[in-house]
Amino acid sequence: MIRFSPRVTALAAVVILAPAAAGCGINAIPTKEEAAKARWADVQSQYQRRADLVPNLVATVQGAAIAERTTLTQVIEARAQATGVTVTPETLSDPAAFQRYQAAQGQLSQALSRLLLVVERYPDIKSNQNFIALQSQLEGTENRIAVARRDYNEAVRDYNTSLRTFPTVIWANTIHGGSEPMQLFTATETAQTAPGVNFDALNPATQPGGGAPAAAPGSAPPAAPAAQ
């Protein structure tokens, strides 16, 4: 009778059992987790791309000497806040950290939307070739952000589902017991509301002393122009 050493027996057991274990989904959780983290890196890359466009966009609008400065300030402040809040792959399961990140990015989105609405009042800016190029890049980046967020959410849903369904739930409660559900992007409250801009501030006729002088009380209305 052939006798095998314990080492050879153990190696043979690993070779035989490894495919069976893999077929039961033992590797599914870490695999899906890494896929979700990779999609998160794509999200961050696109948000950073947008943040990098903001300084040039603001500088271009500032150069036109627009009357509405509050909106520019809001964009600058929102960018600073958005770039100051980070979520690492290790904190994707932290609801508070994720909500802060999403809120900061949402505020920048709203500030940029208000800025583009203001620019609608300035044909010189709208026809500026530098602004046109920046606006096109910004629109393209916003589309990429939407796609990256969608892909991230799909990867996270797949990963989170594996933590709760058979047979991977077995490994989630044993070998991969430290695995936590990741957070999903959701629609923010501000995303449901169109940004508001007070265009009256840009219209001199609506300012005190602006436009035609008011008629004195009791005075006759101005005469109509004579017919030609």
CA distance 153 to 196: 29
**Alpha-carbon torsion (80, 43, 147, 95), positive or negative:** negative
pLDDT-based confidence at 219, cuts 50/70/90?
A: very low
Candidates 86, 75, 73; CA nearest to 108 is 75
| pTM of structure | 0.75
pLDDT tens digits along 117-165 = 999 989 999 999 999 999 999 999 999 999 999 999 999 999 999 999 9
The sign of the torsion formed by the CA atoms of 148, 154, 160, 163 equals negative
CB atoms within 10 A of CB 191: 12
Kindly report, residue by residue over 54-64, the tens digit of the pLDDT: 999 999 998 87
